[in-house]
Amino acid sequence: MFTENIVSVDFLIKRAKEIQVVIDNHALEIEKLDQEIGDGDHIFNVQRGIKLVIELEPIIKDLSMSKALNQIAMKVLSGIGGSSGALFGTLFMTMAKSSNIDESIDYKKAIEMFAYGVEAVKRRGKADVGEKTMMDVLIPVAHCLKQGIDKNKDLKDLMNEAIEIAEKGMLSTKNLLATKGRASFLGERSRGHIDPGARSSQLMIKTVCTSILNS
């Protein structure tokens, strides 16, 4: 089933445009979350990053997946401030390196690439589950998806499971003690607030999975 579905560069651009709409619709919510425990610039950086990716469409639309992902990584690294640029740049760069297929890839390969990318972000950010960051969403989702393809789960069941795990991870950050970034300076006062990076990551995961469910 996973090898019957193709993920092309066009697929990436379409999902980026869908994510842009969702993130814009939740911008005020994410900004408020960041103002409570961060420096308030997370939503700006995320929106800028998505916009930069979409603007690459005429440049990457005819490229191989590996080259397109590399272009995205370089644009994100150079165009986004804060930790978001470095971390998402690392995600796309690692995915690019793990893709050696000229044209498009299937869902199985895409999930493997995503899992490699998340592991690289984990190393780069030196953050794990339980530290009140976007990794509380990305790591469990990557594990879920990788186990799903290894067990050859039904695709739609796996997408629904990933959506649930992403939401669970995001909500779990509310009562966690922040140990990374500006939020860590608050100590115990960081508890009681959802991490903005976890929320934006959860929305992105949900958007992509929902799109696959509806395809």
pLDDT in tens, 48-67: 999 999 999 999 999 999 99
Length of the chain: 215
More confidently predicted of 93 and 181? 93
pLDDT in tens, 114-161: 999 999 999 998 999 999 999 999 999 999 999 999 999 999 999 999
Closest to 30 in 3D by CA, of 166, 208, 203: 203
pLDDT band at 103 (very low <50, low <70, confident <90, very high): low
Q: Could you give the maximum distance between any two Cα atoms of the chain, in Å?
A: 50
Return all residues near 22 (Cβ < 8 A) that are at least 6 apart. Answer: 203, 204, 206, 207
DSSP SS3 for 134 = coil
- What's the pLDDT at 1? 56
DSSP SS3 for 106 = strand
pLDDT in tens, 152-176: 999 999 999 999 999 999 999 999 8
β-pair type (105-106, 6-7): antiparallel
More confidently predicted of 204 and 1? 204
pLDDT at 200 over 70: yes
pLDDT band at 204 (very low <50, low <70, confident <90, very high): very high
Element (H, E) at 105: strand 105-106
pLDDT at 8 over 70: yes
pLDDT in tens, 105-115: 889 999 999 99
The answer to whether 70 and 93 are in contact (CB under 8 A) is yes
As a whole-number percent, the residues of the chain with pLDDT over 90 amount to 74
More confidently predicted of 9 and 2? 9
Domain CATH number, residue 58? 1.25.40.340
Domain around 48: 2-213
pLDDT at 3 over 70: no
pLDDT at 77 over 80: yes
- What's the pLDDT at 105? 86
- What's the pLDDT at 38? 80
pLDDT in tens, 25-42: 999 999 999 998 888 889
The single residue listed with the structure tokens 């186990």 is: 147
- What's the pLDDT at 201? 97
Mean pLDDT of 177-194: 80
Count up the domains in the chain and report the number. 1
Closest to 138 in 3D by CA, of 121, 161, 151: 121
Element (H, E) at 215: none
